[in-house]
């Protein structure tokens, strides 16, 4: 049985969920606020393929082919990647509007599979830093 591991960053955002979603759903604009997952190609659609340039700390730059999982306007965006036979990842953004004009933004990664634990242990610190930066950048952008 394989272990499932998770890293997540949560931040309060003084903006409506619609405003956060506009930036998340605009893949062409990601390079302006997301230095770690840039140059996203694809469109929103259940199971739709996406290709993105991934620049995570401690990793060489790579082109990742992923598949969109669930997405709900103003609430969540999720994609999945199977890294060969070794392990799989689920990357997500979640928006929870607490009161009108104020949200919690979560973004993170879930890793599972045979060798995912070894990969995760090696890169946990860099992933935490990267996802904290992504969340803070998006917060600053929408709060203006």
Give the SS3 label for residue 100: coil
Q: According to the model, what pLDDT value does residue 1 have?
A: 47
How many domains is the chain built from?
1
Q: Could you tell me which of 10, 4, 32, 19 has the C-alpha nearest to residue 128?
A: 10
What are 88-126's pLDDT values in tens digits?
A: 999 999 999 999 999 999 999 999 987 888 888 888 999
Domain interval for residue 121 = 5-143
Contact assessment for residue 100 and residue 6, using Cβ atoms and an 8 Å cutoff: no
CATH number of residue 85's parent domain: 3.30.530.20
Predicted TM-score of the model (pTM): 0.92
β-pairing verdict for 87-99 and 76-83: antiparallel
Length of the chain: 144
């Amino acid at each position: 049985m394989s272990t499932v591991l998770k890293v997540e960053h949560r931040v309060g955002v003084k903006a409506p969920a619609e405003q956060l979603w506009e930036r998340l759903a605009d893949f062409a604009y990601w390079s302006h606020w997301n230095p770690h997952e840039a140059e996203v190609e694809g469109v929103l659609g259940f199971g739709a393929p996406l290709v993105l340039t991934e620049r995570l700390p401690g990793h060489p730059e790579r082109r990742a082919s992923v598949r969109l999982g669930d997405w709900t306007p103003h609430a969540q965006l999720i994609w999945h990647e199977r890294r060969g036979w070794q392990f799989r990842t689920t990357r997500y953004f979640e928006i929870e509007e607490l009161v009108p004009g104020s949200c919690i933004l979560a973004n993170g990664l879930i890793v599972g599979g045979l060798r995912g634990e070894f990969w995760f242990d090696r890169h946990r610190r860099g992933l935490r830093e990267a996802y904290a930066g992504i969340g803070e950048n998006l917060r600053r952008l929408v709060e203006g």
